[in-house]
């Protein structure tokens, strides 16, 4: 009777202990789990008179099973001491026979002194006299075990103890897993909410970025409409133009970013002239550099092949972004430099490095780490102070990576910044690995002699390299008095490049002195980064023949020499003029928005093209059906009521006439995703023009399809 009563009491005690332990674990708050685990294990240990409870987890390396201790409760220790990672313990090597037993879901219930001698050592060293090892299975897999140690008595744990501790062990393990999952979920939630916050921040700066130019456009339109003088109207138009271009830039960035996020950002490869690409970029940036009175330096390595194959527009976008940041984050009077150098040939491609340096506010090391991520700006108040969306560098990085390159930054807060990137581009066919010189067509038998006068060493260096590569002779000097001495000496110069702003005697004064001193003076070209218009009249009166803007490009210098000393001086200009007119040609324009029709009609006014308009696809099909021979080309909007451009194109191509099958159809659409363009081509169109319409792009398409 007595034994039974004791048994029942002991069982009750065990159940109560398990119940208490589970309550601790289930009620544990986030961040309090270890404490609850500790208390739970403690209660269980007390119920079975154990001195230690340990939780072990299995893992595999190369199919071999190991275990490691995750947690330990021991009498008198602190919860913070509970978390212990032991060295790896191999079942095969350190615990022979255990794996077989435990995987069969059997417990190990042993008195240490009765174990084989080699095993005894391991446990006696830890003061253990008896132990109960309870396997734990999760999702039908042997997950690990819980060990209960008695360091005071030699005994076997009772069947009741074994059975109840099995459930308790499973509960402990489950609670542990639940805690791990909660932690992972909390981390994921934190990450998501940080991303969410970044996007809200982005939306707010984006709204600001869009509103600013829109306000300017709306305001300037009102001013322009009510302005009485033509100058005031022009002023308003100019401001509207600048604000619109800026707005378009913001929208393009957002579009690019969404393409990148949707993994649909691709490059389109064409053959292009590297120097021409840089020239376009510089012409975009020059205005802002001048406005902030900054000094712009540039050096292009002559070893970079002239013609390359790649996405020149995307490359230009990266350089423009870096340069506009440099200008934006550099105070007035600072210096911005652009260097490009040929690095090496690598697997049929040449590796080029581009470096943009400024003397601006710089970026701390901490902030540099985040800069190339989307929506990131160095400081939180950057947007308020400088504007911008924080997308430019993320887009730039993607472009550079697509070109098999890298982009990085070297900077310190307050000490300016240098952005460097590399790209790999193919040489165009026919480009040898030897750098070639650009042609100079001069009909003189004696060598042509040039003189370059500039107080900036970099410019003189440019002319020296230029002369070597073109087989011309070029003397250089940084001193205008020295220049005058050279010119009035025995050597006869054909052409002088003279810097405008120099100490002692500026370019115009030097020209005046030359004109006075020489009966037959050389051709004189003023070179300068400053605006030519205000001084043109004075300069021409002093004897200046022409002007070349800085930074200097080899192609400009070659053109200039050809223009003043070469054959066919003005032929190219005349051909150019003629190329932009298409008399006798007729276009069918399908576009539902009246304002867009008006824009096309006005843009093409000077091209002398006849244009018939249709307000939807159906009208366009009917017009073409009625007079197929009348039209030379169709400009087709895509989204139109009644019948869209895709459907209209399909109907036109299906008409029973050779003309309808062959007439060039060019889509005009604001959808600039590659798939949209693909849809147009699949419907039977030949090409695509982006809206808002860029005059030069339109002209290029007209030339392609009408000439
Ligand atoms: P945006 O200029 O439109 O904000 P970017 O991605 O081009 O976006 O640049 C991200 C941020 O990097 C900028 O907001 C600025 O904080 C920092 N940054 C970029 N270029 C420079 C630079 N040359 N000098 C200092 N800070 C820069």
Q: What is the pLDDT of residue 595?
A: 82
Q: What is the pLDDT of residue 626?
A: 92
Protein residue with its CA nearest to atom 3 in ligand 1: 388
Query: From ligand 1's centre to the CA of 165, what distance in Å?
Result: 61
Using the predicted structure, report yes or no on whether residue 367 has a pLDDT greater than 90.
Answer: no
Tell me the C-alpha distance between 215 and 243, whole Å: 9
The neighbour count for residue 472, using CB atoms within 10 Å, is 22
Q: Which atom of ligand 1 is nearest to the CA of 378?
A: 16
Ligand 1 close to Cβ of residue 377 (< 6 A)? yes
Q: What is the pLDDT of residue 103?
A: 94
| Ligand 1 binding pocket mutation candidate from 256, 326, 358, 371 (most atoms within 8 A of CB) | 371
Is residue 640 within 8 A of residue 592, CB to CB? The reply is yes
Q: What is the pLDDT of residue 573?
A: 39
pLDDT digits (tens, 9 = 90+) for 370-379: 888 766 665 5
Tell me the C-alpha distance between 336 and 332, whole Å: 11
Query: From ligand 1's centre to the CA of 360, what distance in Å?
Result: 11
pLDDT digits (tens, 9 = 90+) for 175-222: 888 888 888 898 999 888 888 887 777 777 777 778 878 888 888 888
**Least reliable range by pLDDT among 128-132, 437-441, 686-690:** 437-441
**Quick one: average pLDDT of 329-349?**
92
Tell me the C-alpha distance between 369 and 425, whole Å: 27
**For residue 324, what pLDDT band results from cuts at 50, 70 and 90?**
very high
Q: Which atom of ligand 1 is nearest to the CA of 416?
A: 24
Is residue 83 within 8 A of residue 71, CB to CB? The reply is yes
- pTM here is 0.63
Q: Strands 586-590 and 633-637: what pairing?
A: parallel
Tell me the C-alpha distance between 84 and 671, whole Å: 59
Ligand 1 close to Cβ of residue 360 (< 6 A)? yes
Query: From ligand 1's centre to the CA of 419, what distance in Å?
Result: 11
Which residues are CB-neighbours of 47 under 8 A, at least 6 positions away? 13, 14, 16, 17, 18
Is residue 522 within 8 A of residue 561, CB to CB? The reply is no
Work out the mean pLDDT of the chain and round it to a whole number. Answer: 86
Is residue 498 within 8 A of residue 526, CB to CB? The reply is yes
Ligand 1 close to Cβ of residue 407 (< 6 A)? no
Q: Which residue has the higher pLDDT, 76 or 650?
A: 650
Query: From ligand 1's centre to the CA of 378, what distance in Å?
Result: 7
**Quick one: average pLDDT of 524-535?**
88
Burial (CB count within 10 angstroms: exposed 0-12, middle 13-18, buried 19+), residue 52: buried
pLDDT digits (tens, 9 = 90+) for 163-185: 888 888 888 888 888 888 888 89
Tell me the C-alpha distance between 241 and 233, whole Å: 12
Query: Cα 434–319–314 angle (5° rounding)?
Result: 85
Residue 404 zone, left/alpha/beta (φ > 0; ψ -120 to 50; rest): left
Tokens representing 328 are: 């934006």
Using the predicted structure, report yes or no on whether residue 136 has a pLDDT greater than 70.
Answer: yes
Protein residue with its CA nearest to atom 9 in ligand 1: 390
| Percent of the chain with pLDDT strictly greater than 90 | 38
Ligand 1 close to Cβ of residue 545 (< 6 A)? no
Query: From ligand 1's centre to the CA of 326, what distance in Å?
Result: 8
Q: Strands 495-499 and 307-310: what pairing?
A: unpaired
| 3-state secondary structure at position 269 | coil
Q: What is the pLDDT of residue 261?
A: 79
Tokens representing 392 are: 């430019």
Query: From ligand 1's centre to the CA of 256, what distance in Å?
Result: 17
Tell me the C-alpha distance between 381 and 414, whole Å: 16
Q: What is the pLDDT of residue 576?
A: 41
**For residue 249, what pLDDT band results from cuts at 50, 70 and 90?**
confident
Protein residue with its CA nearest to atom 21 in ligand 1: 325
Tell me the C-alpha distance between 30 and 12, whole Å: 31
**For residue 582, what pLDDT band results from cuts at 50, 70 and 90?**
confident
pLDDT digits (tens, 9 = 90+) for 223-246: 888 888 888 888 889 888 888 888
Tokens representing 126 are: 């830890």
Query: From ligand 1's centre to the CA of 382, what distance in Å?
Result: 8
**Quick one: average pLDDT of 451-457?**
93
Ligand 1 close to Cβ of residue 320 (< 6 A)? no
**For residue 577, what pLDDT band results from cuts at 50, 70 and 90?**
very low
Ligand 1 close to Cβ of residue 382 (< 6 A)? yes
**For residue 382, what pLDDT band results from cuts at 50, 70 and 90?**
low
- Please give the full DSSP string across 445-477, using - where no structure is assigned: SSPPEEEEE-S-HHHHHHHHHHHHHHT-EEEEE
Q: Could you say which DSSP state residue 364 is in?
A: -
Q: Which atom of ligand 1 is nearest to the CA of 388?
A: 3
| Ligand 1 binding pocket mutation candidate from 388, 394, 408, 419 (most atoms within 8 A of CB) | 388
Cα separations (Å) of 409 from 9, 94, 308, 364, 393?
73, 52, 26, 11, 11
130 φ, ψ (degrees, to nearest 5): -135, 150
**Least reliable range by pLDDT among 360-374, 400-414, 636-650:** 360-374
- Please give the full DSSP string across 233-260, using - where no structure is assigned: HHHHHHHHHHHHHHHHHHHHHHHHHHHH
Using the predicted structure, report yes or no on whether residue 128 has a pLDDT greater than 60.
Answer: yes
Query: From ligand 1's centre to the CA of 385, what distance in Å?
Result: 12
């Amino acid at each position: 009777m007595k034994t039974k009563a004791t048994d029942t009491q002991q069982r009750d005690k065990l159940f109560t202990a398990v119940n208490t332990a589970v309550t601790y674990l289930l009620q544990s708050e986030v961040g309090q789990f270890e404490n609850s685990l500790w208390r739970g294990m403690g209660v269980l240990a007390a119920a079975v008179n154990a001195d230690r409870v340990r939780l072990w987890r299995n893992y595999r390396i190369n199919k071999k099973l190991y275990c490691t201790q995750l947690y330990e409760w021991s009498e008198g220790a602190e919860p913070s001491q509970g978390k212990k990672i032991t060295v790896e313990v191999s079942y095969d090597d350190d615990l022979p026979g255990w794996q077989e037993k435990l995987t069969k879901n059997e417990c190990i219930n042993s008195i240490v002194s009765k174990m084989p001698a080699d095993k005894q050592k391991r446990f006696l060293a830890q003061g253990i006299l008896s132990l109960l090892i309870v396997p734990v299975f999760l999702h039908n897999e042997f997950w690990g075990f819980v060990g209960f140690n008695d360091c005071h008595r030699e005994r076997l744990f009772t069947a009741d103890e074994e059975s109840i501790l099995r459930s308790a062990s499973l509960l402990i393990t489950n609670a542990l897993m639940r805690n791990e999952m909660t932690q992972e979920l909390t981390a994921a939630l934190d990450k998501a909410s940080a991303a969410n916050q970044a996007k809200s921040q982005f939306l707010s700066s984006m709204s600001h970025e869009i509103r600013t130019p829109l306000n300017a456009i709306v305001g300037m339109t009102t001013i322009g409409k009510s302005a009485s003088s033509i100058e005031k109207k022009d002023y308003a138009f100019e401001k509207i133009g600048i604000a619109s271009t800026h707005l378009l830039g913001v929208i393009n960035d957002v579009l690019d970013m969404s393409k990148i996020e949707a993994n649909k950002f691709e490059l389109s490869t064409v053959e292009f002239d590297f120097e021409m690409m840089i020239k376009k970029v510089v012409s975009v940036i020059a205005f802002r550099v001048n406005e902030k009175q900054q000094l712009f330096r540039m050096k292009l390595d002559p070893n970079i092949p002239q013609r390359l194959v790649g996405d020149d527009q995307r490359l230009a976008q990266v350089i423009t972004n870096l340069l506009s940041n440099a200008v934006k984050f550099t105070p007035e009077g600072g210096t911005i430099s652009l260097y490009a150098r040929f690095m090496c040939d690598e697997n049929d491609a040449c590796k080029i490095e581009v470096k943009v340096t400024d003397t601006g506010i710089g970026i701390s090391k901490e902030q540099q780490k985040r800069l190339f991520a989307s929506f990131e700006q160095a400081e939180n108040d950057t947007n308020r102070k400088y504007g911008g969306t924080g997308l430019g560098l993320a887009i730039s990085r993607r472009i550079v990576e697509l070109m098999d390159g890298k982009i990085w930054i070297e900077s310190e807060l307050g000490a300016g910044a240098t952005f460097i990137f590399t790209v790999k581009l193919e040489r165009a066919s026919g480009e040898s690995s030897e750098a070639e010189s650009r042609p100079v067509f001069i009909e003189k038998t004696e060598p042509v002699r040039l003189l370059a006068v500039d107080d900036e060493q970099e410019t003189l260096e440019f002319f020296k390299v230029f002369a070597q590569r073109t087989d011309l002779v070029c003397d250089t000097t940084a001193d205008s008095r020295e220049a005058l001495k050279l010119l009035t000496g025995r050597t006869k110069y054909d052409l002088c490049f003279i810097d405008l702003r120099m100490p002692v005697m500026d370019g115009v004064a030097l020209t005046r002195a030359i004109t006075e001193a020489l009966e037959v003076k050389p051709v004189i070209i003023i070179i300068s980064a400053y605006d030519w218009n205000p001084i043109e009249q004075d300069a021409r009166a002093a004897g200046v023949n022409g002007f070349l803007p800085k930074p200097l490009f080899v192609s400009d210098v070659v053109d200039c020499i050809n223009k003043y000393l070469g054959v066919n001086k003005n032929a190219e200009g005349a051909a150019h003029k003629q190329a932009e007119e298409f008399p006798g040609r007729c276009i069918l324009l399908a576009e539902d928005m009246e304002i867009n029709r008006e824009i096309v009609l006005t843009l093409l006014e000077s091209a002398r093209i006849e244009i018939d308009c249709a307000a939807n696809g159906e009208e366009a099909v009917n017009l073409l059906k009625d007079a197929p021979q009348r039209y030379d080309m169709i400009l087709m909007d895509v989204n139109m009521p009644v019948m869209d451009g895709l459907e209209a194109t399909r109907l036109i191509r299906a008409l029973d006439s050779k003309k309808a099958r062959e007439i060039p159809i060019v889509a005009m659409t604001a959808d600039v995703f590659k798939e949209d363009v693909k849809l147009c081509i699949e419907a039977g169109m030949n090409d695509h023009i982006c809206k808002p319409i860029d005059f030069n792009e339109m002209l290029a398409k007209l030339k392609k399809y009408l000439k």
